[in-house]
């Protein structure tokens, strides 16, 4: 059986927003979803020490699950890219913090495939870097860090549908969980 580890961002828990729907794609094909919750909220989320803090938080959780789970991380959780690279784990990174050099370095070191999802109105997203780091990229024009699009809320629901479709396509392309 396949496992998915959901790693939240800093603002919402591991079952809110995109993190409610993206793991559901894997769950529908038989995976077991494990949701991590931070022990506390870190203060310096843009300082280099955040990478080791995230890895120290999430690593034991991944160890307890065992195997080679798919990681699904949002924003702050994308600091676990170092863990994914170190262990050769596939991943889906939602609004990765591509302005942090250690996140980009970890993604550059990855040997397993990963999907990057971001929006052009997100100041923490770098579309050029994303396309350089992975062939699996969904970039949504005008979407912000929460992947909300300008205009009516229905536009943001359309973005969510694009994200789910991209995740389905990514998992098919990498033949996950096989």
> Over pLDDT 90: what percentage of the chain?
89
Q: What pLDDT is stored for residue 12 in this prediction? A: 83
pLDDT tens by residue, 51-63: 999 999 999 999 9
Q: What is the pTM of this model?
A: 0.96
**In 3D, which of 17, 106, 131 has the Cα closest to residue 54?**
106
pLDDT tens by residue, 78-134: 999 999 999 999 999 999 999 999 999 999 999 999 999 999 999 999 999 999 999
Q: Which domains does the chain have, with CATH numbers?
A: 3-173 (3.40.50.1820)
The least confident of 7-11, 67-71, 159-163 is 7-11
Q: Mark out the alpha helices in the chain (DSSP H runs).
A: 18-28, 49-65, 81-87, 101-109, 127-133, 153-173
Are 107 and 21 a contacting pair, CB within 8 Å? no
Strand order, beta sheet including 70-74 = 32-35, 3-7, 70-74, 91-94, 114-119, 137-140
The band of 13, judged by pLDDT with boundaries at 50, 70 and 90, is: confident
Q: Mark out the alpha helices in 44-98 (DSSP H runs).
A: 49-65, 81-87
Residue whose structure tokens are 């079952």: 15
């Amino acid at each position: 059986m396949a496992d998915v580890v959901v790693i939240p961002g800093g603002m919402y828990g591991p079952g809110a927003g995109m993190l409610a729907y993206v793991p559901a794609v894997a769950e529908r094909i038989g995976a077991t979803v494990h949701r991590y919750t931070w022990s506390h909220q870190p203060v310096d989320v843009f300082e280099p020490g955040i990478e080791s803090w995230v890895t120290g938080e999430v690593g034991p959780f991944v160890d307890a699950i065992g195997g080679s789970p798919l990681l699904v991380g949002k924003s702050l959780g994308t600091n676990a890219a170092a863990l994914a690279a170190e262990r050769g784990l596939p991943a889906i990174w939602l609004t990765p913090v591509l302005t942090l050099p250690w996140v980009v370095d970890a993604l550059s070191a990855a040997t397993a495939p990963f999907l990057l999802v971001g929006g052009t109105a997100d100041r923490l997203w770098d579309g050029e870097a994303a396309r350089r780091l992975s062939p699996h990229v969904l970039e949504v024009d005008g979407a912000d860090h929460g992947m909300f699009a300008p205009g009516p809320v229905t536009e943001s629901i359309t973005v969510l549908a694009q994200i789910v479709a991209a995740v389905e396509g990514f998992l098919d392309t990498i033949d996950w969980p096989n």
